[in-house]
Structure 1
């Protein structure tokens, strides 16, 4: 086993060990800080639970919660505190709780802090644990009453634990003095937890490693959630760390006219942006490639923000795509996402898991509008999308992303400009001709080769998509108000159509 890994105490928290480059350095003291409710106790319990599974003796010293509360908290996550985990509930001596026996000439805090420290040392010496959690430093800070005395106390604890060889996790709820950085300079590493409350939706939690002596770690903020079972951390995605070898080839859609428009098809390991106003058929074009993926014997993953799955299954089946059947046969993974309950980091992790475990070769994100809604108070959408698309490209997956523009015809705007991120940009438009509203498609950009520079009309019917010949007799089709400039080829004949709400 690699020595650098064996010297780490795994935290038992999914994703956190990855951020910490394997876990916490053994025989060192670490600080886990955050406001009440950010998940400190849950992470601490998982840390001790992991040690117990490895046969290590563990000790939880609590100054703020009772043993009964801790056991109930563990049971709520399905964790049973076994004989390898001892809970020491530290309470002041009974004499210190009696007002009649409080000292008048000698400050009672001197007695309380001394007694508290003594009981901590006695509990440790009795058990000799490998892992220790001390919850919480706020109580010790209050007993110390001065910054100098508090620092001396923390140094005393650190030196004591250093001699014993235990890996120690100090918890701090930051309620007494959030600006006091005394412990930061003393401990070996600091894990900072935050809880954010957006104007709508559930709370968002994130963590950051602010210090780790002598060890590289994954910097920046990382989203995490607390669910039944404990804390799950979603490491920030870095596409540069993930590269696979695959054969680049051209993949077709199954529609000759569409493949011709695309210059033969889409190159494997590339991203395609489908952009246009609502109802033009963006989702349907993505599903056309999903259908072609399944018929090639490969798998696809769809992440739907904007539509209820029952409605999606019903309307696409009428258009010739049996998504429900594909899902039942294990050919596609389709997931409906709630933007109000999902953080960007969790979404990226879900996509990564599907590509890795399901071996999805086509990924559909429908739509960027919904993805943007999952981060209403964050300004890093472009960076999130850049890393995610680069990651998928490096895995040899084809990604199709839809963006709904504001407006129907004329001057339309996108909620966010991600056209420069995609390898191929397909533009869908409404236009009026001969007294009818029609749809047009064109390829604006393709990095991986040549494409047709024409504009084609398309229709959505019960057989799915059908494309016509290039519209050579009109000018201004993409603006939605075309002008007849010469003899044109016939438009697609009207037939039985089914409107596409996407």
Structure 2
């Protein structure tokens, strides 16, 4: 990645995310390469590039050596586009004699003649249309006609110099079917963009793009997820939290449960992240929902991204506890989305979160759970980096974030599928424990960066009235291991036997 050259006149690609990655678009009157295996969306990107130019009143030309005119128009129609008046399509076809099976003899019609004829047709089309944007699809055909690497390189250089004299911005497509290891065009092109498709063991295919080269321009490096949908390609630039700093006043936010706020030293700080750890069934989602309710009571918008539970079941379950999440959604204060990890890439998920923050001024975000989010990640290391950037972005926007993580097991020494405790500002630990023949639940705060907090362990209960948190369990030790030992007084034991807080 190099420093910005100061060139401001750039051709937009018609894809907002790609323009963001490229630092504003493509420098005009240059020669670019868009490469990727079949099915990665090269043609769709190319059509969006030309259609955006046509929208600005520019003349555009699509030169195709591999697809027919009808195939291109049908492909455009599948996205709701019409190419009739906006894009000129020139289909390069061999001379009629080459299509005659009786005359297809290498001695008479060598690759030299075919390559020369193909080049002449391309030049004639450019002279006739005089476009400012050109797409050439695809280089694999030219590579096969050239035969050798030397002739191929000379042909590419000839095309580059010809287009340069006509003040055109050229996008060359390469499907990598002839020779994927040939980097000839990489050294000649002003910029190189690669599209990739990954096939996970389960779920939909994942697509990502990367700018390999862009001479004299600052661009966003690394991989960026993208999706092909009706309406074109959508690219989700990699989130860089340092680029999104905002100023806001930090203060403590109450949960609506006085004893929980006391345990947390007065509440959760605005613009911080909280991780809620515990085995299945301990009420992690319910604790997060409590802060959603508190935000809505302050007339602030909140957002929930639910990975693990069907929304209808979530609404019904919370309704039985006296919590009307569905009503909050209908009022517009709660934005809630069901997320399918098998169908969603991490980049697209981060894009959805950013959209809610930017468009709806959301100040409380719940991700339930990180286990489901992890399912969208191929590697744990990548997950940690994604979560780090997302949490830092949300914190810098003044949004308070709550993440839940289901730990393996029910009691004893439990493990988390991934350790992100060091990323969160506050860590709340939920546990089951057994006492006098009953399974109970305990809560403790094991970490809080901003300010002090109680180091006690409190019992809590979930009933039709919602959450209730009792006094510290002063008469027991070993609660977090699941099998506590009673070391207190008779009053402490009486509290446990009656199931009431002292």
Smaller-chain TM-score bracket: over 0.9
Q: 1:321: Cα distance to partner?
A: 1.6
Match for residue 496 of structure 2 among 467, 491, 494 = 491
Aligned to 1:62: 64
Alpha carbons of 1:292 and 1:74: their partners in 2 closer, same or farther (altered >3 Å)?
same
Aligned to 2:228: 226
Aligned to 1:45: 47
Aligned to 1:154: 156
Conserved 8 A contact 2:435-2:496 = no
C-alpha distance in structure 2 between counterparts of 1:122 and 1:47, whole Å: 22
Query: Secondary structure at 1:43's aligned position in 2?
Result: helix
Identify which range, 54-63 or 484-493, moves more after superposition. 484-493
Match for residue 130 of structure 2 among 110, 128, 152 = 128
C-alpha distance in structure 2 between counterparts of 1:69 and 1:491, whole Å: 74
1:183 aligns to 2:185 (yes or no): yes
Q: 1:379: Cα distance to partner?
A: 3.8
Aligned to 2:268: 266
Match for residue 171 of structure 2 among 161, 169, 172 = 169
Superposed, 1:22-41 pairs within 5 Å as 22-41=24-43
Match for residue 471 of structure 1 among 447, 470, 473 = 473
Unmatched segments (≥5 aa) in structure 1 = 496-502
Aligned to 2:76: 74
Aligned to 1:324: 326
Conserved 8 A contact 1:302-1:363 = yes
Q: 1:82: Cα distance to partner?
A: 3.5
Q: 1:374: Cα distance to partner?
A: 1.1
Q: 1:97: Cα distance to partner?
A: 2.1
Q: 1:96: Cα distance to partner?
A: 1.7
Conserved 8 A contact 1:5-1:22 = no
Superposed, 1:47-446 pairs within 5 Å as 47-102=49-104, 105=107, 108-377=110-379, 379-446=381-448
Match for residue 458 of structure 1 among 449, 454, 460 = 460
Conserved 8 A contact 2:139-2:172 = yes
Conserved 8 A contact 2:30-2:170 = yes
Q: How many residues align?
A: 494
Q: 1:83: Cα distance to partner?
A: 1.6
Aligned to 1:500: none
C-alpha distance in structure 1 between counterparts of 2:195 and 2:438, whole Å: 57
C-alpha distance in structure 1 between counterparts of 2:292 and 2:103, whole Å: 78
C-alpha distance in structure 2 between counterparts of 1:36 and 1:269, whole Å: 44
Conserved 8 A contact 1:458-1:492 = no
Q: 1:100: Cα distance to partner?
A: 3.5
Conserved 8 A contact 2:276-2:402 = yes
Q: 1:378: Cα distance to partner?
A: 6.3
Deviations 1:258-296 (Å, cap 9, x if unpaired)? 000000000100000000000001000000000000001
Conserved 8 A contact 1:409-1:429 = yes
Conserved 8 A contact 2:380-2:418 = no
C-alpha distance in structure 1 between counterparts of 2:86 and 2:409, whole Å: 63
Query: Secondary structure at 2:342's aligned position in 1?
Result: helix
C-alpha distance in structure 1 between counterparts of 2:498 and 2:289, whole Å: 24
Q: 1:375: Cα distance to partner?
A: 1.5
Conserved 8 A contact 1:457-1:492 = no
Conserved 8 A contact 1:468-1:491 = no
1:17 aligns to 2:19 (yes or no): yes
Query: Secondary structure at 1:226's aligned position in 2?
Result: strand
Q: 1:491: Cα distance to partner?
A: 3.3
C-alpha distance in structure 2 between counterparts of 1:273 and 1:88, whole Å: 57
C-alpha distance in structure 2 between counterparts of 1:195 and 1:233, whole Å: 13
Deviations 1:148-173 (Å, cap 9, x if unpaired)? 00000000000001111100000000
C-alpha distance in structure 1 between counterparts of 2:372 and 2:105, whole Å: 63
C-alpha distance in structure 2 between counterparts of 1:449 and 1:135, whole Å: 61
C-alpha distance in structure 1 between counterparts of 2:335 and 2:346, whole Å: 19
Query: Secondary structure at 2:161's aligned position in 1?
Result: helix
Alpha carbons of 1:305 and 1:104: their partners in 2 closer, same or farther (altered >3 Å)?
closer
Alpha carbons of 1:250 and 1:325: their partners in 2 closer, same or farther (altered >3 Å)?
same
Deviations 1:410-437 (Å, cap 9, x if unpaired)? 0100000000000000000000111100
Identify which range, 94-103 or 348-357, moves more after superposition. 94-103
C-alpha distance in structure 1 between counterparts of 2:178 and 2:162, whole Å: 25
C-alpha distance in structure 2 between counterparts of 1:68 and 1:57, whole Å: 20
Alpha carbons of 1:460 and 1:158: their partners in 2 closer, same or farther (altered >3 Å)?
same
C-alpha distance in structure 1 between counterparts of 2:203 and 2:438, whole Å: 42
C-alpha distance in structure 1 between counterparts of 2:61 and 2:374, whole Å: 44
